[in-house]
Structure formats: structure tokens, C-alpha cells
Amino acid sequence: EAGVAQSPRYKIIEKRQSVAFWCNPISGHATLYWYQQILGQGPKLLIQFQNNGVVDDSQLPKDRFSAERLKGVDSTLKIQPAKLEDSAVYLCASKGFSTDTQYFGPGTRLTVL
Amino acid sequence: QKEVEQDPGPLSVPEGAIVSLNCTYSNSAFQYFMWYRQYSRKGPELLMYTYSSGNKEDGRFTAQVDKSSKYISLFIRDSQPSDSATYLCAMSLPLIQGAQKLVFGQGTRLTINP
């Protein structure tokens, strides 16, 4: 079974620029999560999708972050405009219906200069 | 006060030692308790999962939950250099529609020295 795929793996941008991350969850997994992990901290949930509907986005900075999950499969997370404090690893995870286990992708490491 | 507190370490022990990792929490609504392991430049992977007070053992790993004290632990016996990683405790909160939300601790960076 293929794992959660994310791209790009690394991204360096200037502040005020835009950036987008892509996630392909494990096939058949209805729930998809985006986390932000700042260096030295645990992952923080940004947004959770159930199929293509949003379940929780209470910690998503909606003035600059947006996310979508088209057709309930792949998802993109966008930051526009980026700030220095957005430098972090952005992790995507997915979960099947019959399990409580979240499977994480390798993450995208974002550096904002 | 953070909902989940975890000592970030770093923790360095010799090979073969018993390792004890701990987290405390403040939210009584947490339902499930997990330990994730994260190797450098990788995503977290689930190590242990439990939902009740008591001990759960899996090979060299034992997860312990004390809901009355709001305290969870992970013990690693006969530690190996390959156990060197960051260990994250995580706790689940119920959301609408039967969904769950994970709240992670800060992570403890562990090094096992050969």
C-alpha cells in the first residue's frame, strides 16, 4: 500500500510571496489533515477534511492560508502572502474510515526568507 | 497553559537502558492517547495507541495512562540506537460528525548511544 505523498519536499521563498503544497492521501482514506510543525514543536492541526468537506479549520490563519480538497482525494494548501513565521514543515496525514490511525506523509519543509 | 505538556529534552542514554518518556495534559475530554515516533526529516509514525487507564505492552514498548493524574508515559526497554528519534505524545479530542482531532505534545528528542 502506497503511503501519503507530498510535494514539493522543500521550498524556499521570500516573504510576501505565495506558495502551494500538494498532498495525495492513501487510496480510500476519507479523512485528510494538514498540520504545521515548527522546528522543536509538535504538529499543530491546521485543517481537517472529511471527503471534500471541512470538519475543523479553527486553527487555520484564514487571512493568508487556504486549503481545498477537490473530489475528496488530493488536497492543496496555499499560503498567500507568506510571512517569516510560516517557516515550518507542513505535514499531510490521512485516515481510513474504520481506524483511528493517522498516516503521515514526509512533509514539505518551507523556508521563508 | 498548554493542553499537553511534554519535556523536549534532549535525552541521551546508553544502549540497553530503560527509557521513560512522559506527558501531562489538562483537558479531561481527551479520549485516546498515542505515542508517535518521528525520525529526522520524516513524518510521524504511530507507535502505541490506548484509550483507557493502565498499561499496554508491545514488544519493547509499554504505554501507560493514568487518567486520574492526567499523565501518560512511554517506556522503552533494551533501548537500541535505532530508537533514536523524537517521540511525540498525542491525544484525541472528539469533534462533530464523529471526527477526532489530535493535539500533540512538543516532542522529546531521544538519542541512544552505542
Question: Where is pLDDT greater, at B113 or B53?
Answer: B113
Residue A41 with chain B: CB contacts under 8 Å: 106-107
Digitized pLDDT (tens) for each residue of chain A, 113 residues in all? 689 999 999 999 999 999 999 999 999 999 999 999 999 999 999 999 998 899 999 999 999 999 999 888 999 999 999 999 999 999 999 998 888 889 999 999 999 99
Are the beta carbons of B101 and A107 separated by less than 8 Å?
A: no
Cβ of residue B99 closer than 8 Å to a chain A Cβ: yes
- Three-state DSSP at A72 gives helix
Q: Is the pLDDT of residue B1 over 80?
A: no
The two most distant CA atoms of chain A are separated, in Å, by 42
Distance CA B74, CA B69 (A): 15
What is residue A1's predicted lDDT score, i.e. its pLDDT? 63
Closest CA to B37 of B112, B98, B94, B95: B112
Whether the predicted pLDDT of B13 surpasses 70: yes
Q: What is the pLDDT of residues B70-110, one digit of tens each?
A: 999 999 999 999 999 999 999 998 887 677 899 999 999 99
| Cα–Cα distance, B57 to B40 (Å, whole number) | 25
Give the separation between CA B61 and CA B38, rounded to whole angstroms.
Answer: 15
Residue A81 distance to chain B (closest CA, Å): 25
CB-nearest to B42 from A93, A101, A106 is A106
CA–CA gap between residue A19 and residue A77 (Å, rounded): 8
**Which chain A residues contact residue B47 at CB under 8 A?**
none
- Which residue's C-alpha cell is 526568507? A113
Contacts of A57 in chain B (CB under 8 A): none
Higher per-residue pLDDT: B51 or B44: B44
Cβ neighbors of B107 (< 8 A, separation 6 or more) are A40, A41, A42, B6, B8, B38, B86, B87, B88
User: Can you tell me the mean pLDDT for B35-63?
Assistant: 94
Cα separation, A58 vs A82, whole angstroms: 19
Q: What percent of chain B has pLDDT over 70?
A: 98
Compute the mean pLDDT over every residue in chain B, rounded to the nearest whole number: 93
Neighbour tally for A65: CB within 10 Å: 20
